[in-house]
Amino acid sequence: MNIERLKEIREDKDLLQKDVAKILNIPQQNYSRYELGIVAMPIEKYAILADFYETSVDYLIGRTNERKPYPKK
């Protein structure tokens, strides 16, 4: 799991943790724990962020360096 990528992509979009937490409908403290790797983020939250950032879950978790999302059916 590439937790650094969560912070990197958030900062690339000039967002604060509280902004992303709002998108995920969770407290900012919970999102902070995800970014720090203290707590594993549920796959459902990764899917929400992948859609928001227009990328793939694989990119967010570090399985690929290809930032473009997969084609939609």
Decide: helix, strand or coil at residue 55: coil
pLDDT above 70 for 1: no
SS3 string, 12-48, reads: HCCCCHHHHHHHHCCCHHHHHHHHHCCCCCCHHHHHH
Average pLDDT, integer, range 35-63: 95
Q: What is 3-60's CATH number?
A: 1.10.260.40
For helices 17-24 and 3-12, give the axis angle rounded to 10 degrees: 100
Q: What is the model's pTM?
A: 0.89
pLDDT tens, 11-39?
999 999 999 999 999 999 999 999 999 99
Angle between helices 28-36 and 3-12 (to 10 degrees): 120
Closest to 70 (Cα-Cα) out of 47, 39, 44, 43? 47
Task: Give the pLDDT confidence score for residue 2 in this predicted structure.
Answer: 72
Sequence spans of domains, the chain = 3-60
